[in-house]
Amino acid sequence: MVDSVTPALRSEIMSRVRHKDTKPEMLVRRMLHKAGFRYRLHVSGLPGKPDLVFAGRKKVIFIHGCFWHMHEGCAMARIPKSRVEFWTTKLSANRGRDTRNEAELRQAGWDVLTIWECELGKSDLLAKIQLFLA
């Protein structure tokens, strides 16, 4: 399938894809702040620059988009029909990097929780996070 927009327009569209302060991240941050939790954002000294860092507890939270991080079994994590080889390579590399970063964090003594974009509408999300942070 051929891309329906010019390469220049596609580049402009993709340049607007955020890597931090995304809507899913902001929803989780507001929920946790309202619940009384305080955290640091995107600590560059940690592998993968976790979205939320609870240094005193040695716990980190990643908030992943299902498409960009290939959430297994999720309908939102589909490979686009155009440029299949490109997207498969790119998204697999994202997934591999996530696995390496999580392993490095765990080896350094950090607990890691990944929240997926598709989980944001679930009513038990706050309870899941509170249990992790306890």
Is residue 41 included in any domain, yes or no?
A: yes
Mean pLDDT, residues 112-133 taken together: 95
The pTM of the full predicted model, rounded to 2 decimals, is 0.85
Is residue 50 included in any domain, yes or no?
A: yes
Is residue 5 included in any domain, yes or no?
A: no
Domain encompassing residue 74: 19-133
Which pLDDT band, with edges at 50, 70 and 90, does 7 fall under?
confident
β 59-64/40-41 pair status: unpaired
Closest CA to 24 of 53, 67, 59: 67
The arrangement of strands across the sheet holding 59-64 comes to: 40-41, 52-54, 59-64, 111-116
Query: Cα separation of 33 and 126, whole Å?
Result: 11
- Which tens digits make up the pLDDT trace of 77-120? 888 888 899 999 999 999 999 999 999 999 999 999 999 999 99
Overall number of domains in the chain: 1
Is residue 4 included in any domain, yes or no?
A: no
Q: Quote the tokens at residue 27.
A: 């929803």
N residues, the chain:
134
Strand partners, 52: 41, 61
- Which tens digits make up the pLDDT trace of 18-60? 777 889 999 999 999 999 999 999 999 999 999 999 999 999 9
* More confidently predicted of 44 and 8: 44
CATH at 95: 3.40.960.10
* pLDDT greater than 90 at residue 70: yes
Is residue 90 included in any domain, yes or no?
A: yes
* More confidently predicted of 66 and 1: 66
* pLDDT greater than 70 at residue 2: no
Is residue 29 included in any domain, yes or no?
A: yes
